[in-house]
Amino acid sequence: MRSVSIVGIGQSPVGELWNRSARQIAGDAIVAAMADATIETADALYLGNMLSGSLLDQEHLATLVADYCGLTGIEAAKIEAACGSGAAALRIGMMAIASGFHEVVIVAGVEKMTDTVGKDTTAGLATAADAEYEALHGVSFVGLNALLMQRYMYEHNVPIDAFAGFSINAHRNGVNNPNAMFQEAVTLNDYLRAPVIATPINIMDSSPVCDGAAALILVATDRVQQFVHGHHRGAVRILASAAATDTLAVHDRRDPLWLEAAYSSSQKAYRQAGISTKEIDLFEVHDAFTIMSALSLEASGFARRGEGWRLAHEEMIGIGGELPISTMGGLKSRGHPVGATGVYQIVEVVQQLTGTAGANQVQKAEIGMAQNIGGSGATILTHILGV
C-alpha cells in the first residue's frame, strides 16, 4: 500500500457568507490548496458535504464544484457521512492514491448552512439522526446532545461549569485564527450567563451554524519531492486513518455515554501509527458540543470514563498544555460547517506540523491527531498525521 502525504492546504473563512454560494466557497478553498501545492490540475475531487440536497436543492455537488474550479473532466464524487463527511472524503482520497487509481487527488469539504431561503437548517441537521425513530418524535440534533449531557452530569455527578473550559479554550484559540467565525475570547462568566438552547446545553456549549470550505491535496509519499519544491514548507504524512460506526440511534446503544466508534477508530489508528496517546502533540477534537469533547477524550484514551471534563483547563488543553485541543478554535470558535469540518481539522493539524499556525503554534509539534464525528457518535473517523 502506498503511503499518502498532504502537499497543499486551503480554507475559506468560516462564517455567515451571505454573498458566496456553495460552489464559490468550495472554489476558494480548492484554488488556495492547488496554489499551495503549485499544481494546476488533479485527477479527482472527493467532496465532503452533508446538506446540499436538503438545504440548497443541489445534489451532484462534486461535479458542479469541479466544473466551477475549471477542473471539468476529472472524476468527482460527493461523500456523505453526516458531520463526519469531511474525514470520510479524506479516507476515500487516500484509497484513490494508495491503490494507484490516481496520482493527485483533491479532498475538500463544503457546507452552506446560512441564507438558505425557505429551508430549515435545524431540520437539516436532524437528518444525521434516525429519521423514523428519532427525528420523527421531534428530537433535534441539539436535543439529542442535551440528553447525553444531562445523563453525563447525572451519572458522574458533574456540575454544568465543568464543561466551560472546553468553550473558553476554543474561543481563546479562535482569537488568533483569521479564518475563525468567532475571534473573541469568552470568560467563565460569559459561559455561565449564556442563553440555554436545550437544557443543559447553552450557546457556549454549542458550535454555530455557518458556511465554510477546506481542501487538501494528496499525493503518494514517494512522489512528494515532485510537488514540494525548495521554497515549500514541507509535506505532512498521514500515519493512520481509521473509520468505525455505531448504531445510528442513540437509544440502541448499550451505553449512550461511551463512544464505541471513537474507541474503535482511535485504537486502530494508534496501532497503524505505532504510537500511544502519550506521543500525540495535539488533538483536533470534534467539539460540536462540549459534551462531545468530554466523551471523545474518554473513548480515545486520554481520560478515564466520566473524567474527560477534568481535562478542560488551560494547563492541560491550552496551546502550551500537555494535550492542546481545538488549537485553531475548534468547531466552537472556528465554526462547524458540517461537511467541511473534518477537512478543516486536517488543514489545522497540517498548519501545526509545518510550523505555520502563527500565534497558536504548538511548540515541537510532530504528531497530530484529528477526530471527526458524524451524528451522535454513529460515524467516527480518526486520523494521525506526522512530519
In the complex, what is the shortest distance from the CB of residue 118 to a copy of itself, in angstroms, rounded to a whole number? Answer: 12
Task: Name the CA dihedral angle for 386, 337, 198, 127, rounded to a multiple of 10 degrees.
Answer: -100
Whichever of 130 and 348 has its CB closer to a copy of itself, that residue is 130
375 binds a copy of itself, rule: CB under 8 A: yes
How far is residue 368's CA from residue 365's CA, in Å, rounded to a whole number?
7
Coil, strand or helix at 275 = coil
The three grid cell numbers given for residue 353, joined into one nine-digit string: 506540523
Under a CB-based contact definition with an 8 Å cutoff, are residues 19 and 32 in contact? Answer: no
The three grid cell numbers given for residue 373, joined into one nine-digit string: 464525528
Between CA 234 and CA 314, with CA 337 as vertex, the angle to 5 degrees is 70
State how far Cα 60 lies from the chain centre. Answer: 23
Whichever of 135 and 201 has its CB closer to a copy of itself, that residue is 135
Nearest to 374 by CA among 86, 61, 22, 57: 86
State how far Cα 142 lies from the chain centre. Answer: 17
In the complex, what is the shortest distance from the CB of residue 8 to a copy of itself, in angstroms, rounded to a whole number? Answer: 21
In the complex, what is the shortest distance from the CB of residue 256 to a copy of itself, in angstroms, rounded to a whole number? Answer: 14
Site residues (CB under 8 A) for a copy of itself, limited to 115-134: 123-124, 126-132
Whichever of 191 and 263 has its CB closer to a copy of itself, that residue is 263
Site residues (CB under 8 A) for a copy of itself, limited to 260-279: 260-261, 264
91 binds a copy of itself, rule: CB under 8 A: yes
Residues 13, 28, 78, 214: which binds a copy of itself (CB under 8 A)? Answer: 78
Coil, strand or helix at 255 = coil
How far is residue 144's CA from residue 71's CA, in Å, rounded to a whole number?
40
| CA contacts within 13 A on the Cβ side of 159 | 4
21 binds a copy of itself, rule: CB under 8 A: yes
Q: Give the interface segment with a copy of itself, choosing from 50-58, 171-179, 286-294, 348-356 (CB under 8 A).
A: 50-58
Q: Give the interface segment with a copy of itself, choosing from 28-36, 97-105, 193-201, 305-313 (CB under 8 A).
A: 97-105
Element (H, E) at 149: helix 141-155
In the complex, what is the shortest distance from the CB of residue 138 to a copy of itself, in angstroms, rounded to a whole number? Answer: 13
Residues 35, 100, 193, 199: which binds a copy of itself (CB under 8 A)? Answer: 100
How far is residue 353's CA from residue 280's CA, in Å, rounded to a whole number?
11
356 binds a copy of itself, rule: CB under 8 A: no
User: Where in the sequence numbering do the catalytic residues fall?
Assistant: 83, 336
Whichever of 22 and 168 has its CB closer to a copy of itself, that residue is 22
Instruction: Give me the residues that bind a copy of itself (CB under 8 A), please.
Output: 1-2, 21, 23, 44, 50-54, 56-64, 66-67, 72-82, 88, 91-92, 94-96, 98-101, 123-124, 126-132, 135, 243-249, 252, 260-261, 264, 374-375, 378-379
